[in-house]
Structure 1
């Protein structure tokens, strides 16, 4: 929920970008048999996203190397 006013796109830009990447790079590419399979894959993707994936906005570094 936006605290600055209705429709402020900048409020959630980081998490929106994360979920866009997660869907395109992982979730839409797989068929999950159970909700637990989906949850496990999302957990794995979060670990990958933060520890092994290079980010253009971080000068092609990994978040854990920058922060």
Structure 2
């Protein structure tokens, strides 16, 4: 944890939400709250199980964790 008022505390979540908004939320128009909930659940599953990340040697987070174990 950094000192109060330092932006580095939220960097991980801000990075995730930036990806979420550009890769999911801004691409679709939603009519109901259930559609938004479904899209969020699908994106989180995609982000953790299928989306490769360069910083993880081009593996998904799930593949990286199972490889490390």
What TM-score does the superposition give when structure 1 sets the normalisation length? 0.87
Query: Equivalents in 1 of 2:8, 2:58: separation in Å?
Result: 23
For these two proteins, the number of residue pairs brought into alignment is 65
How far the C-alpha of 1:22 sits from its partner, in A, is 0.6
| Structure 1: 5+ residue stretches without partners | none
| Structure 2: 5+ residue stretches without partners | none
2:46 equivalent to 1:48: yes
How far the C-alpha of 1:15 sits from its partner, in A, is 1.2
Task: Determine the structure 2 residue equivalent to 1:24.
Answer: 22
Query: Equivalents in 1 of 2:58, 2:33: separation in Å?
Result: 33
How far the C-alpha of 1:19 sits from its partner, in A, is 0.6
The Cα RMSD (Å) is 1.5
Query: Equivalents in 2 of 1:13, 1:28: separation in Å?
Result: 21
